[in-house]
Amino acid sequence: MIQLDLQGRRALVTGASGGLGRAIAETLAAAGAQVAVHYRKGKDEADAVVDSISKAGGKAQPFQADISDPAAVEKLVQQIEQAFGGLDILVNNAGMDGPRALVGDDDPQIWEKVLSVDLLGPYYCARAAIPRMEKLHRGVIINVTSVHEFIPWEGYSAYTSAKAGLSMFTKTLAQETADKGIRVVALAPGAIQTPINESVWSDPQSLKDLDKKISMGRLGKPQEIGNVVAFLASDLASYITGTTLAVDGGMLIYPDFRHGG
């Protein structure tokens, strides 16, 4: 029997107080990992995730930090190391897309903020995690990108640039750490039904338009992302590194072309 087992592993999931991060944290815990539930603000939400994991028989603790601050990230990883005894899995999930604005009409400070969270944040976290993983010659870093590392998105140039940059960071970091026993993988979700995009899926017309962009004709569920993260973090994925796995219901195979060009 094939089993997905993360017993004895220590995981940090950034942005784990809701949405995809919550599903990822709960799934890793269900697979046996001890999970650091990171949040920047929203302690009550993070505590709710920890409580949910505990009630299900898992182990988790909340940790607060601004991942766009390298000093705060180093302190965060030190706190996790003290609490858990080490770090085996890092899931760089925290991110933001910012307000929609065309280049020239946008605010450069907001552009920089999106990059600081979506690209520099994962860099700071990986930089802090690698020495801890290297000690054990074992570790997995999973960077949550987006289908928009491939697909341009008008009005969100900072977000798409950050996600494309995170993809190449994944490849380069995988190259740098392969001989240290560390795997680095990117996961690109498509349209997933979370509270952050409720304005889209709660409107029948908007949902119909979005579903046309997805070959499978439906939004994904957060649990479907959590399942893939748990797989990538496990030894079942031991020969996977330096690539992006799209979990998008077929958005990237352009369903509009099913009936001809």
Of 204, 81, 95, 71, the C-alpha closest to 160 is 95
For residue 52, count CB atoms less than 10 angstroms from its CB and return exposed for 0-12, middle for 13-18, buried for 19 or more: middle
Q: Cβ distance 35 to 58 under 8 Å?
A: yes
- Residues tagged active-site: 159
The radius of gyration of the chain's CA atoms, rounded to the nearest angstrom, is: 18
3-class DSSP assignment, residue 234: coil
- Residue whose C-alpha is closest to residue 91's, from 161, 37, 131, 50: 37
